[in-house]
Amino acid sequence: MKKHFPSEHLAANSAETVRIGSSRIATLTAVVLGILVGSASTVYRMASEGITQGGAELILLDRNLKNWGPETAPIREDLKQYVQATIKAIWEKGKDKDQAGYEASVRATAIAHVVDSIRQLSPKNLEQEILFSRIISLSQQILQTHWTLIERESNGLPGMFLAVLLLWMATVSFTQGLFSPLNPTVIAILAIYALSVAGAIFLIDEMSRPFNGYMKVPVSPLHYTLKQIEMNQP
């Protein structure tokens, strides 16, 4: 690469200026990558906790509906269908956009029907009045969790931001290779650097999309929720 540059561009004073600029870009890149890793990790953790908390709320709602009486059996069936639809929509979805849209519609319809049916319940005694307040509170929490998870499904790194980050890292790699001798050690170090940065970007992108890609949040809490709901049904 050096042979394509005039000799005065590779002089000691020029090399020092390039190295200073490269080190500043490298520091900026490292800081941004560190912030992004921390932010993506937080998004992933919150999504995982949301699934766990949502599963617990669904179990509690099902048990309170069971305590209400047999007239809530249709609502509990809709609740089970909602859990099944959520598992299928997030963890078993394919690449067919039409199918994914249909599954998302089934999921939204199921939770909306559950909430609407709950609002139509009419307490007949003091015990049911207490249950009704609990059921309403749980249903609203579940509805909020549902739409929060829907919003997080579309998260990811902005394309323009990723392009700028890649430009910075390409600049650092270029300047490192410009003033380094061409030997197996240098080539290996540059390759390791490129793979390390690519791995960091991959982790950031995956953790910022906790319901897509290869690193989805665990589905086990909702499988447990579905099992508990099915066990409580006659």
Amino acid at 48: S
Structure tokens at 231: 């066990």
What is the CB neighbour count within 10 angstroms for residue 32?
Answer: 14
Q: String of b and e for 190-214 (b: at least 16 CB within 10 Å)? A: eeeeeeebeebbebbbbbbbbbbee
Q: String of b and e for 127-152 (b: at least 16 CB within 10 Å)? A: ebeebbebbeebbebbeebbeebeeb
Measured CA to CA, the distance from residue 70 to residue 89 in angstroms comes to 29
pTM, 2 dp: 0.75
Model confidence band, residue 187 (pLDDT cutoffs 50, 70, 90)? confident
Higher pLDDT, residue 20 or 4: 20
Higher pLDDT, residue 67 or 10: 67
Residue 55, pLDDT score: 92
Higher pLDDT, residue 46 or 173: 46
Model confidence band, residue 59 (pLDDT cutoffs 50, 70, 90)? very high
| Residue 79, burial from CB neighbour count under 10 angstroms (0-12, 13-18, 19+) | buried
Question: Is-contact 62 73, C-beta < 8 A?
Answer: no
Contacts of residue 52, defined as CB under 8 A and 6 or more positions apart, other chains included, come to 221
With residue 201 as reference, give the H or E element that holds it.
Answer: helix 184-207
Residue 154, pLDDT score: 62
Question: How many residues in the chain?
Answer: 234
Measured CA to CA, the distance from residue 18 to residue 12 in angstroms comes to 10
Report helix angle 184-207 to 159-178, nearest 10: 170
Average pLDDT in the chain: 81
Mean pLDDT of 44-54: 89
Residue 103, pLDDT score: 63
With residue 186 as reference, give the H or E element that holds it.
Answer: helix 184-207
- CA angle centred on 205, ends 174 and 48, rounded to 5°: 155
Question: Is-contact 81 88, C-beta < 8 A?
Answer: no
Ranges 60-64, 66-70, 156-160, 203-207: which has the least confidence: 156-160
Measured CA to CA, the distance from residue 101 to residue 89 in angstroms comes to 9
**Taking phi first (over 0 means left), then psi (-120 to 50 degrees means alpha), and beta for anything else, what does residue 213 get?**
left
pLDDT, tens only, 128-186: 899 999 999 999 998 888 888 777 766 666 777 778 888 888 887 777 766 667 778 87
